[in-house]
Structure 1
Amino acid sequence: MQTLDALQKRIQTTGDLLGVVKTMKSLAAVNIRHFERAARSLTEYAEVVEQGWAVLFRSGELTLPAGRETRALILVVGSDQGMCGQFNELATRAALQEGDRIVGKGLDVAYWSAGDRIRIGLEDAGRVVVKHFSIPGTLGGVNLMVEGLVPHLAEWYRSGQGRFHVVHNAEGEREGYAPLVHNVLPLDKDWEEKVTAAPWPSRCLPQTYLPTEVLFAGLFEQHLFASLYGALVRSMAAENAARLAAMQAAEKNIEDMRAHLQMTFHQIRQDSITGELLDIVSGFEAMTKQAGR
């Protein structure tokens, strides 16, 4: 049986832990809104970039070739902060499935990882990680990471066109998040037809006087930036949603544990008081009998 002092210490420790969990829960809730706003802003920005592509294609000065890729690159985005359940495992599993699907089409697949746990998961599955990047913790860090990623990706694409996919978690119904595969490249004939077929939002069709090469280079860079930035902020929003769900479950478990400890403490204390009272009564009765003799 536990002593009252030991139970009191456990109750105090449980209360301290509950305070930490509530703080983490509040931070996760704030971060979700923070990254969700960034994701919504990025969606609007990506729509503007796509309209720029539409202007370029409708000018008739550029026609993209049909896709004939022989290789593919998959960037897998995860988390290194923990307390978010199966977040990294789901992203890794989705990336492996996507890689197997692409290999089944006869393409060679290479992997980039964002997050140490993602890299470990891919390597444990027998995949070679060609490049690795650290996961940022702030929106400013996301900007720096994307700025570092874009030149690597542009160099890879210029060395021989191929497919580029980003695998990351996004907010969903299951555990607050679900894996998502985003196809960023190639920019081929099918993609051009899809962009051109979208209705223009106004009656006035814009014109451009920039050289085709300059406009293409600028739109290509912004396309990469919007795709990578969007994937990262959506992943970070999903990560915090997963952490919020984990903290809510932890909070309930800790509260249940504290209630059980407090009930046990009161029960043991009551039994102790009852035992002491019985000892006093027994002692009094014994003294009374002795005095009566």
Structure 2
Amino acid sequence: MSDTTASLGRKIGTAGDLQSVVRTMKAVAASSIGQYERAVHALDDYYRTVQLGLVACLREMNPPAAPAQTKRSPTGAIAAVVFGSDQGLVGQFNDLMADFVVKTLAELPGQKTVWPVGERIRARLGETELVLGDGFVLPGSIGAITPLVGQILIEVEALREKEANAPVYVFYNSPHAGEIYTPTFQRLLPLDAVWQRESTAMAWPTKNLPEVMNAGEATLLAFVREYLFVSLFRACAESLASENASRLAAMQRAEKNIEELLEDLNRSFHRLRQSGIDEELFDVISGFEALTGG
């Protein structure tokens, strides 16, 4: 059935309403990107401070008090915290992350358990052969990240009580120059000999070498807790920034498609309206000629 001017008018109105929604979502996504990126930048100096504190503690302890690497059987447990999204309209954000997690964990021996953060990534990982552990609700603001990190650390501690040397990884999408985001991962635990060697290799920023007073081991453990907290907080903030960047890109594509659709609809509407006017003029002229005998 061919469109009428009334039906085209309704389609134009619906497309206009959808365009308003898309523009609002664009504005929200752009604003969210800013707050999460600022949070990541704000963490940089603190993360650096924690790293330097670890360097100071490890260099003074002989042997270091951090857990040394031990051999793990191929059937040992491996845990992975995976940040995704709770909401849609993010393009391939969750699909790329799920594929990256599956590919990366497939190269590691042992029984893997995945803790998804976000309903969308949980559903996507549920389609794989990975074992899903308890999921977490993705925070909707900067202030909600801290309680989430606390919950994750509780789960990590429970796992480490069962298997002290169980590796723990965190997977997240990180903003990347030249791209919207890039899937990446970090091994959080164990803090083995390799980790200690890499940490102590960091150059001290001044010529005045530090000294850890009194309880060096307690200080080291405090820095380790802060290291884990900051690492997870940063991963979550970068994932949320990447999610909103992906949503912004999706909304920009949607807005462009809507603009093209509106252009086509308006063109069809004006053409159909002009055709109706031409028909009415033709009928008037034909009637006039019939009355005048012309």
TM-score (norm 2): 0.93
Q: Give the corresponding residue for 2:217.
A: 213
- Distance in 2 between the 1:8 and 1:120 partners? 39
Contact 2:90–2:243 (CA under 8 A) maintained in structure 1 = yes
Partner of 1:35: 36
CA distance in 2, matches of 1:68, 1:109: 17
Query: Alignment partner for residue 84 of structure 1, among 83, 87, 90?
Result: 90
Aligned partner (choices 145, 148, 153) of residue 150 of structure 1: 153
Q: 2:268 aligns with which of 264, 271, 276?
A: 264
Q: Given the two structures, how large is their TM-score scaled by the length of structure 1?
A: 0.93
* CA distance in structure 2 between the aligned counterparts of 1:59 and 1:91, rounded to whole angstroms: 40
On the 8 A contact 1:175/1:242 being kept in 2, the answer is no
User: Do 2:79 and 2:169's aligned partners in 1 also have CA atoms closer than 8 Å?
Assistant: yes
Q: Which digits, 9 at most, give the CA deviation of each residue in 1:212-245, with x for residues without a partner?
A: 3321221121111011101100000000000010
Unaligned runs of 5+ in 2: none
* 276-285 vs 18-27, which moves further: 18-27
Q: CA RMSD in A?
A: 1.6
Structure 1 residues 238 and 167: CA distance shift in structure 2, 3 A: same
Contact 2:97–2:173 (8 Å) recurs in 1: yes
Where do 1:205-244 residues align within 5 Å?
205-244=209-248
| Letter aligned with residue 121 of structure 1 | R
Cross-structure match for 1:178: 182
> Which residue in the other structure is 2:114 paired with?
111
Partner SS, residue 168 of structure 2: strand
| Range with greater deviation from structure 2 (254-263 or 22-31) | 22-31
Does the residue aligned with 1:84 lie in a helix, a strand or coil?
coil
| Cα offset, 1:158, TM superposition | 3.8
- TM-superposed CA distance for 1:31, in Å, is 0.9
| 1:104-162 C-alpha deviation (Å, 9 max, x unpaired) | xxx33221111122222222212221221111110111111012211221232243212
Among residues 79, 95, 100, which one is paired with 2:101 in the alignment?
95
Residues in 1 aligned to 2:236 and 2:194: alpha-carbon distance in whole angstroms: 26
Cα distance in 2 for partners of 1:40, 1:138 equals 16
For residues 47 and 70 of structure 2, what CA distance do their matches in structure 1 show?
22
Task: Determine whether 1:121 maps to 2:124.
Answer: yes
- Which has the higher mean CA deviation after the structures are superposed, 247-256 or 176-185? 176-185
Shift of 1:36: 0.6
Q: Which stretch of structure 1 is more off in the superposition, 269-278 or 44-53?
A: 44-53
- 2:168 paired with 1:167: no
Give the direction of change, closer, same or farther, for the CA distance of 1:83–1:204 in structure 2 (3 Å limit).
Answer: same
- What is the alpha-carbon distance in structure 2 between the residues aligned to residue 175 and residue 200 of structure 1? 33
SS in 1 for 2:81: strand
Please, which moves more after superposition, 208-217 or 52-61? 208-217
